[in-house]
Structure 1
Amino acid sequence: MPSPTSNSLTHRLVDRHLAFGLACVFAGTVAIHLTLWQGDNQMIAGAVAVPLGVLLVGGWMLRNVTRVPGSIEGQLRNLAEQTAVPLQPLKESGPVAAGWNSLLSRLNRHDAAHSLADRLTEAFCQSGGSRWEAAFMNLPDGFAITNESGTIEACNPALLRVLRLPSDQAITGRNLQHLLQQWTGETDNPALQQLAQSSCKITCELRCGSTTAEGVLRVARCGIADSQDSGTSQGLVWNIRDNTQQRLSEEMRNEFVFTATHELRTPLANIKAYAETLTLDMDLDIEKQKGFFNIINAEATRLARFIDELLDVSQMESGSMGVVRHETDLERLLQEVFEHVQPQARKQQLELESVLPPKLPKVQADKDKLAAAMVNLLGNAIKYTPQGGQVRLKVEQDKQYVHLQVEDTGIGIHEDEISRIGEKFFRCHDERIQDIPGSGLGVAFAQEVARLHGGKLSIRSQLNEGSQFTLSLPAAREAS
């Protein structure tokens, strides 16, 4: 195989043209010596003219051969001295000129691509970059970028909110792990120790205090890979989310499952026991039989009410709960509700009072759902009021709303828990209510019914003194 330089310019000049010219000069010199020896003047002139002609033809051929390489060499020298000098294509023919022109075409396409990339990058930085920054600053989760040791280099405002820090506090340059430790109030937290001992990808949960309500954070951390795929990390990105409400919801669901099991088991056990007694004891007198049948009926009603609550929860969860409004006689509806809860009040030995104005307006409402909401509110008032207490149903009206108020002299609600009373499955942590059956759904249902009617449910309560639940419905517009 010939060497890469076998067709080089030097090889061609020396091997072809220069060697040929030297041969011609040598031949001319020999001819001159012969003619001088013979003394022929004409031959001397010819011997001199032939080498000169060969040299002229060789020079012309050499000039043609070196024109293209010389042009290329000149452009490259200019490019080395002045980088802004553009390279020019060659007009000559031949493989060298064609190769040079092809190379320039490729370089021009490469430069055009780089120019387009630069323009796109500049446009992104001017417009898109600001959009990404705006999105980062408005994310609901806390985000931070730190170095390997956890020192904060950038963060969004949500991080301050999640860590319960003042919104104007500057935390750039502080250690994020120290801030998390400050939030938990612990120095020996296993999750924090794991974060400190390694910079690898990790997801963990941190708790503030002994109860879920005090705060739960989900912390996710991963490395920022080098853009050159060198395997080295360029820092850490952190995502910190407040999971308190999610964990509270899970706890309330677990409590609800426990309560639901009790709510189902107790009436079923009573129904089974009294039904077996009625079946096996044929000598029971009529009065006892009636009493047993009444108990079975009451327990079946209790089961049906609980199942209705479960269906209501399902509709509230899916957002499919709706109301069908009709003109409703409010006075008659409240009388029916009052009569429905009277047996429960008598059993609890409570004073149940109804305070209604002489004339109640008609309202546009879903009668069944409004009645169920009022039964829930009155039932709760009776359930959480000790024996000898009082429960009152009142109705007030203004230009905008009709207010249905349920007042009691019961155990009341701690001020820290009032805002959570309307949450599904939530029950107060007061030890006095732990043995009182309940699903934590009644108030949530009443609140949803009020919302669907365009009204609201407001709660006022004082621990150990009593509570007031007010379901407000929009007043009917008078026909003009």
Structure 2
Amino acid sequence: MQRKIFIIFTIILLLGILMTSFLYLSLIRSSHLDELENKLISNGKLIEAIIHEREVPLNKEEYQRIATTYGEKIGSRITLIDGKGVVLADTLARLDGIKNHYNRPEIQAAYKGEVGRATRYSATINEEMFYIAIPVDIQPHNIKVIRLSVNLQQIKDLNRRLYYYVGISMLLGFLATLLLASRFIRKLMEPIHEMTEISQKIADGDLNRRVYVVSNDEMGILANNFNHMADKMKEMIDKLLESNTKFSGLLASIINPIIAVDNKHKIIFLNPAAEELFQISADEATGKHLLEIVRNNQLDEKIKDVFENHRETQLEISIDEPTEKILKIYTNLIRLENDPTRTMGIVALIQDVTEIRKLEKMRSDFVANVSHELKTPLTSISGFVETLKSGAIEDETTRERFLDIIDIETGRLTRLIDDILTLSEIENTNIRSYKQEIHPSEVIGEVLEILTPIATSKDISLTGDIEANLPPIKGNRDWFKQMLINLLDNSIKYTPVGGKVTLNAFKKYHNTIISIKDTGTGIAKSEIPRLFERFYRVDKARSKRIAGTGLGLAIVKHIVLSLKGKIKVNSELGKGTEFTIILPIEKSN
């Protein structure tokens, strides 16, 4: 901008100087001509007076002498002319070579009683001349016009000198004015440059910068207004940042994923929970179509319906990427505050109900399984009781056999109820209230003593390799013991006659490792993920022949979790199964 102002100022200055100089030169030239004209008229009047003093007529020689003498004195050419245009005398020319001057314009003006003026080239002396013709009536002399003329070369020389001096003055004045103008414009532009620089820094985020201009003119007012605007803008931005921080903090604290899309179904916002759910950052997702993030056509169609009918809705969908999930989605339109009829997009609140649906299914299956497990022995007991009532009680042999069956089924019901109560207790009890000190070596020894007779009765070798003085662990001692009994009992049940069951317990790093390995029937790899589900049986036909409630391994899993441990299964069909329990050792305070 400074350059533009300087260029415009230079052009204006140059035009001003040129116009001023032109007018000045014209005025000087006009003044000089007027002065010259007045001088020639005065000299003409003087010559008229000199000739008028001669009372007797003069001859041509005397006229010529007067013209020559006075012409040299005043530095002008003097021509004396009669009433018919005949030249009586001329300072610079011979009379026999001079033509009649009657038709000359200045002479005609003089004949009319006016002072004639003319500028033209003189063929007599071959020079451009300026003529002044004065009307006179000198008696008894026959002189009607006294014409004085000067060579215009003098005027040209004078004009040339004027042009030179004026040109030098113009140049010096122009340069001096440019220098002063440059400094003035630079000084004038300093506040503008400062405001430009400060505005750029403010635009870059440095909101504390201000302009300092000491001036009472418009520039000072502009600087004050600029600073006031910057203060207001900083105040507004601070409020927006504070509001945005609170809003971002609020969204970040919401555990449910939130996605916002515009009217073209392109993502405009994801909160951290949504980033974690879909394994993508907000920067990567922003601008992408919703289907690129949530690959479910049902959701896309539902959002289209929301836009078309302007109504909120909810739906439940299943996705396969990045992991299999069941999501419940609540959609709401984003409406403009000042124009509720216009919508900017849709915000979707997502609830991950995968675990809830799994638990619901597990509960449903559990209820169905419990009902089935309870119904079978109850039906059997009810049938035998009816039979006994109908007269079979009189037959002692039949009565005893039926009562034995009723006793077995009652025991089965009792075990089932006990296991259900145990599992319920483990699931619902506050684990932190059970912080007994458990000595694994001691409890494992007790369990081996309990189950060794059972293994021996089936001709199964039950051995234990227990590291002495295993570090104590924190938890419920009875549950820990129940966990080992369930695993060993399970291994013994599914190990054929002559097989082996081995229990190893040792410390590794900061964990206590307990491994129970058998040479039983084994488990298919496809069955292992469901092994710890309630009432799940790998070989349903075989399980019916083997007494059990189907809750043993589910109880084991929850006991391991209560001890903050992990359980792993490694099995191969026909070769046996190994359960490995990893329990962390708590650091002593």
Change (3 A) 1:369 1:416: closer
Match of 1:446 in 2: 556
Q: Of the candidates 255, 261, 269, which is equivalent to residue 154 of structure 1?
A: 269
| Deviation digits for residues 396-441 of structure 1 (CA, Å, limit 9, x no counterpart) | 23376362525353342536954x655x64848x6x5499578764
Match of 1:237 in 2: 347
| Deviation digits for residues 211-250 of structure 1 (CA, Å, limit 9, x no counterpart) | xx94322222111232226333232111233322221121
Task: Assess if the C-alpha contact under 8 Å between 1:392 and 1:407 holds in 2.
Answer: yes
* Counterpart check, 1:267 vs 2:377: yes
1:448 Cα deviation (Å)?
3.2
* Counterpart check, 1:173 vs 2:287: yes
Change (3 A) 1:178 1:330: closer
| Deviation digits for residues 23-66 of structure 1 (CA, Å, limit 9, x no counterpart) | xxxxxxxxxxxxxxxxxxxxxxxxxxxxxxxxxxxxxxxxxxxx
| Deviation digits for residues 262-283 of structure 1 (CA, Å, limit 9, x no counterpart) | 1111121223334444553245
| Deviation digits for residues 320-346 of structure 1 (CA, Å, limit 9, x no counterpart) | 366455775532333224556888xx6
Amino acid in the other structure paired with 1:148: N
Match of 2:507 in 1: 398
Match of 1:73 in 2: none
2: CA distance between counterparts of 1:118 and 1:253?
59
1: CA distance between counterparts of 2:337 and 2:512?
63
Change (3 A) 1:160 1:474: closer
Amino acid in the other structure paired with 2:289: N
Amino acid in the other structure paired with 1:249: L
Q: Which has the higher contact order (CA 8 A, sep 6+)?
A: 1
Q: Of the candidates 436, 449, 456, which is equivalent to residue 335 of structure 1?
A: 449
| Deviation digits for residues 349-385 of structure 1 (CA, Å, limit 9, x no counterpart) | xx643112489769777553233323332454466x4
Q: Secondary structure at the match of 2:461?
A: strand
1:284 Cα deviation (Å)?
4.1
Match of 1:60 in 2: none
In structure 2, the gaps of 5 or more residues are 1-220, 225-231
* Counterpart check, 1:132 vs 2:247: yes
Task: Assess if the C-alpha contact under 8 Å between 1:274 and 1:296 holds in 2.
Answer: yes
1: CA distance between counterparts of 2:280 and 2:332?
26
Amino acid in the other structure paired with 1:146: V
Match of 1:461 in 2: 570
| Deviation digits for residues 117-156 of structure 1 (CA, Å, limit 9, x no counterpart) | 9998655433452243244346443322111231111213
Amino acid in the other structure paired with 2:567: S
Task: Assess if the C-alpha contact under 8 Å between 1:457 and 1:469 holds in 2.
Answer: no
1:172 Cα deviation (Å)?
1.4
2: CA distance between counterparts of 1:158 and 1:175?
19
Q: Of the candidates 362, 366, 374, which is equivalent to residue 252 of structure 1?
A: 362
Amino acid in the other structure paired with 1:302: R
Q: Secondary structure at the match of 1:330?
A: helix
Task: Assess if the C-alpha contact under 8 Å between 1:415 and 1:461 holds in 2.
Answer: no
Task: Assess if the C-alpha contact under 8 Å between 2:330 and 2:350 holds in 1.
Answer: yes
2: CA distance between counterparts of 1:222 and 1:283?
75
Change (3 A) 1:218 1:282: closer
* Counterpart check, 1:410 vs 2:521: yes
Match of 1:355 in 2: 463
Match of 2:301 in 1: 193
Task: Assess if the C-alpha contact under 8 Å between 1:425 and 1:440 holds in 2.
Answer: yes
1:254 Cα deviation (Å)?
1.1
2: CA distance between counterparts of 1:175 and 1:193?
13
1:474 Cα deviation (Å)?
7.2
2: CA distance between counterparts of 1:463 and 1:141?
42
Change (3 A) 1:293 1:433: same
1:203 Cα deviation (Å)?
0.8
Q: Secondary structure at the match of 2:285?
A: coil
Q: Secondary structure at the match of 2:284?
A: coil
In structure 1, the gaps of 5 or more residues are 1-81, 86-116
Match of 2:330 in 1: 220
1:198 Cα deviation (Å)?
3.0
2: CA distance between counterparts of 1:167 and 1:386?
52
Task: Assess if the C-alpha contact under 8 Å between 2:467 and 2:505 holds in 1.
Answer: no
1: CA distance between counterparts of 2:531 and 2:353?
19
1: CA distance between counterparts of 2:367 and 2:456?
29
Q: Percent identity?
A: 20
1: CA distance between counterparts of 2:244 and 2:270?
16
Amino acid in the other structure paired with 1:330: I
Q: Secondary structure at the match of 1:409?
A: coil
Larger radius of gyration: 2
Amino acid in the other structure paired with 1:248: K
Change (3 A) 1:162 1:304: same
Amino acid in the other structure paired with 2:245: S
1: CA distance between counterparts of 2:430 and 2:286?
46
1:261 Cα deviation (Å)?
0.7
Change (3 A) 1:129 1:244: same
2: CA distance between counterparts of 1:169 and 1:413?
45
1: CA distance between counterparts of 2:270 and 2:335?
19
Change (3 A) 1:352 1:386: closer
Amino acid in the other structure paired with 2:503: K
2: CA distance between counterparts of 1:194 and 1:118?
42
Amino acid in the other structure paired with 1:412: I
1: CA distance between counterparts of 2:554 and 2:266?
45
